[in-house]
Structure 1
Amino acid sequence: MAAPLYVFALAMIISTLFKAGRNIRSSNDANPNGSIKLVCFGITIVFIGTMGNLVPALGQYPVELFASFINAFLLMIAIYKYRLVELRFMVTRGLVSALFIILLIIAYIFSVIYIEKHISAQYQSIIPYYTTLVALAVAITIQPLFKLSTRLVDKMFYKTEYTQRQALRAFSTRISNNLDLDSIARELIEAVQLGLNATHVLLLQKDEENKHYNVFATSSQLYQPALQLSPDNPIIKWMHDNNAGLTRGQLYYHPIFKSMWESEKEQLYQAGIELIIPIKVRDKIIALLMLTRRKNNVAYTLDDLDLLSYLGASSAVAFENARLYTRSQADAITDSLTKLYNHRYFCQALSEQMDKIGTAELSLLMIDLDLFKLYNDLYGHFEGDRALAMVADILRRNVNNRGIICRYGGEEFTVILPYFDSRSAHALAEKIRTDIETSFFNVNDVTQRFLTASVGICTYPHGAPNTEELLKRADLAMYTAKNQGKNQTVIYTPRFIKDNPSPFDVEDIYRPNYTATIYALAAAIDAKDHYTFGHSQRVANYVTILADEMCLDKAHIDILQEAALLHDIGKLGIPENILTKTGKLTTEEYDAVKKHVELSITIIKHLPTLNHVIPAVIGHHERWDGKGYPRGLKGENIPFTARCLAIADA
């Protein structure tokens, strides 16, 4: 009669074992697999023990009881180690406290009764005093014993919860007034490890520039997986939609993650990631918390997920505040255009580096872009900003991490070079200068747009005794480079004090030569084409009258007069047969005449004291509708002085 039942039980057990085995082979999650294996072994052993009753030789022994005992042992391991079933031994603090009070009362009663029985008659009068004293002692000890019992209950029956509460309390206290991002990350990782006993913890932070999530901090220097999640990764999308943590099982079985690349899954698998928790602020995921398996291989529970979610939520605000604080600190010392350090940081860094190097050498480079105001006037402030950003990139590329690069102000840059002598600093400065020159030179630019730099160098302690003198003398060397023709590097030496004038007197030194230079150039063109010289004089007279009527100041009138005398100076480079031709010019001849504007600029560029007339000269053939030449400017994009000159020239 029992044979069919045994056959049916065998078929069910074989079917269960087959499905469990297939699930084990297809799964990457170790914790459920371990519990399934133990349960399967237990069922198999119980079935074998039951089948043993069919064998007469074994039936006389309690084989099935022994098999059941082994099965129970395996189930206990599955429940405890792998949390197959979540069981708790519930002991309330009230019950334990009541037990302590009952024990105190019993001890009090027995002590009083014992004293009454064994004390002699002559001391019977002290019994009321003894009773009162013991009652007072009991009343005093109740409160401490209640606290002690609470701690004992937590440690004995709520050990995990007690550890987690302690970790939470310590973490909340430490991050409450913390604005250091590294410190908060460290505290969070320590709290997770203490509360959940995780083997390793990873923190991925969102990069504000490329929006990717990169490893920011780990629980160990030996554990540094190369993980990176893009903003369109299914993990990020899932966390945005569900606002919850992600387990390893969900990652491998949920349909939404089928679209992940196998390489991405392999990275997570190799890193041993078991849990992923989002850290969100205002529905934006700013960081990810990742955990590997516990040190005792016990599976994570739903309560653990709740704890991690609380930690993520409580740390999110602290993270965001620290990020904003760090960003504001960086903005305070960073130039917004070039992303270099600003003047404020330069002053601080120079003093710090001087204190740091002691008696060692330190060189300071002062770099000024030549005729940068003119560059802005000719090509506009947008192009000027692009040029400054390009120079910043050149400096970063050449200096790298050997020095501190700062934008000192306007078109001036500084480079602090600790442990650089004058020779090494000069070699680096020349490399920077030539890089700037070649980067901006463009032979195909009809306006010959290019930019150069003048560099001054001073080295501590040989060239300057302190910070103030170092800065002043590097600045003097830079002005000397500009006065000697620009686009060169000059090292400060003691002879500068007696051989070089103040940089503020340079303009006054050269200004008296303006008029002589202008008329010398006018005489040169008069020798080639008398009409052009007479025309330039008439234009100068007309533009002066126009400027007077517009109530312009003397500085603008002087610029307009000088520009009028020089606006056709480029015709020196035009063939005489074209200039003196009486008939209509051909298309080729007209194109040759139009080049006189660029030729004028080429001549004037070699006269640094006259560069202020270039905006008027280069734009006097532009038209309001944009059909002029050489740049095709229109409207108010044409410089004001060029518009005045164009009216007089018409």
Structure 2
Amino acid sequence: MDMYGYISAIALFIYAAIFLVVLASRKTRELWSFLWLLVTMVCWAGGSMLMRWQVAPSYQVWYHVSIAGLLLMACAYYRFLSDFVEKAAGIWEKIYLLVMAAIIAVNVKTGFFLAAPRLLDRGDEVVFEYTITWPVLLLFVAVGWVMAHSLYHLWSAYRERPAYRGQFKPVTQGIVLMFAGHAALLLPVFAGFPIDILAGVGNALLLFYALVKKRLFKLRLLASESVCYMVGLMLTFILFYNIKPYLMKNLEALVPAAGDYEVILFAVFFFVTAGIFSWLWRKLVNNVFVREENRQSEALNEYSTAVARLLNVQDILEKTVEVIREGASVGGVYVCTRNAATGDYDARYSDQPLKDLSFSIRADSPLVRVLRRSQCISWRQFETTVDYKAMWDSEKNQLRYLRVAGGVALTGEEGDMPGLILVSEGQGKHRVSGQDMQWMLSVASVASMALKNAALYEQAYHEARVDDLTGLLNRKHFLQVLEEQFETTRESTLALMIVNVDDFKLYNQLYGQKEGDLALRRIAEIIRSSVGENGFVARYSGKEFAVLLPRYDVLATRTLAESIRDQVFNMNRRTVDHKLKVLTLSIGISAAPFDASTSRELMDNADMAVYHVKHSGKNGIEIFQSVLRKADGETEKADHAHIYQEYEQTVLALMAAIDAKDHYTFSHSHNVAYYATSLAKAAGLNADMIEIVRQAALLHDIGKIGIPETVLNKNGKLTEEEYGQMQGHVEAAVGIIRYLPALDYIIPAVIGHHERYDGRGYPRRIGGEDIPLLARILCIADSFDAMTSKRCYKEAVSLERGIQILTEEAGRQFDPKLVPVFVAELKRGGIQLASQRKSAGQ
């Protein structure tokens, strides 16, 4: 085999290795066109090799195959470069194919352009003699024209996207090398030397390098098992083809009997050598070519998995900076995100906490324009662009101060760029490479998707917490904030203000829902601007707002409430009919720890204060007075008597109705009212709460009006259906009271008086302190009177037995904190049995 044969075989081996890597990659337009280009290269080099070896059918056939591969290679180049720079090949590709096919057909038929060489046998060697005539120049012109058009595509793309200079440069070098190698055949100095084949090999390697830089596939595919085995077999075949005669001759000299086992020994040596070559190839590729790529690929995979679970923007930025520091040779990383107000890109996060993050990149900066266009650029590339020359000196100095080595864009939807990442040069000889920049572009792509998901989550989270109409917190989220703030401010004060808009239903009827919504938005804005950063504001219900003020006392809260009330009163003053559009507020205030021991009590007490304002004529502010009752209870009672006296006749009328139906229920309700009010006083509740629990006790069984007397007075055990009817008296009572708006404030106590502290009661099956305080008081009073009263189906238990049952059920049926208070009052005589009071005439 002559030099041409050896060089051609090596070229085919290299082409085959690249071909396998491309086949194992994810196919893109560039890779498909590159495969077509490799096929033409194989035809060219393979035809030349088989011609030199004079393989059947004849060397002339393989000569024409080689020439056809060379001419079609130019067309494949045009198609490859069109795809590489992402431009359509257009009609020119078809024209070039037709021209080259015509040239090939004419040359095969007539040899007009370059006839097949003559075979000269000189004894010791075989020489191919070509006859070069002027038509061969037409071949060079045709190929040169197509290649020049390809280079024009490349140059146009470079002018549009100078940031891709690093990718375009090896392609340009490959084309020049290929053309120069074939032109050199005309020079006598290269006569007999396969300069064209060597140029083709160099061209293929340069193209492969360009595709690697574009990250269309990974070099680590060269270390895959299939490629390693193929390389080992190819190298072993070439080696044994040349050394077999010497190998067997020396082996027979050492071992005379080796000739008898020639095939077995040859096979063993062949496969052992192939295994060694495969192992060496894998080590070479892993240690020389793909070590850095493997490290970056593993880091990217770990990063993708990690950020997929993150929904917080700050956590994503921190993880992004961390992976860039680990995977690339950078000195520092800065993440800038777009300011919604100015559009500029403000520094948001850095891996160096001592660095100044007060800088920002202007929205109209040339660097931003380039990143929008190219998504990734190194500082060295940026300095060669026209955009760099248009940058202000102050911007250049700022980036130089940061030692910026490059930047990548965080991409959004439809070409939007919500952020960018800047990296600075590493220390010493470590510089940010083109591979690092391309890898960081992959990181930025993953980060962009993670940030988009985080933004969607934050938007959904925001919408779940915010009221659509006013933009304030909604009720659900406000209750969560209330619980959190109650726990965190236990060592301080926490004030709650409930703001209720008076007669808002009438306002809607007079002016329409659209005007009502506008009024609610304006009130919400007044409250929000008045509170500022000092608290939390929520739309608590349709016409009610809640304001939570950590570390505020009741006096400061009242001052704030007065300001809000006055602003709302004057809100519509500039309108023509402002006197008819005046809106007033009823505001209730409660504060912890003075007025409430739980967040539920804080809310209930503020609601109660609002009720007082409503029933006192509206347009006022009430501060809930808690357990610190006045020494003179009668004086306080007199102060609040006017609030409840208007309901007294309604309560008495309902009591008379139930007395007509069931006299026991009537007397039982009075007994429960006595026990409940006594317990409320002993527990330290104020006069308002005591009066509410009295009215709730009188009406708690009003729902029994709808139960047949045969069930109410049945001697034996109730059936399941009858028991269900008895349980339904709670809902029935609430249904009756609901139609009496003046008494709706007793509903929480009435609806919960059959709930159990362990959550096994009815009707709502709530437990613990979720049961309203007055309902827990009513439960003890109701159960104690039922135990100690005689009924048609049972005897009364003694005082001692009643106390024992209360004590045993504390923490299960009854509130464990209230039972000891009630029992202590019973034992000291502060609370007497109802039967004893009746005997004494009380």
Please report the TM-score for the alignment, with normalisation by the length of structure 1: 0.50
Query: Which structure has the bigger radius of gyration?
Result: 2
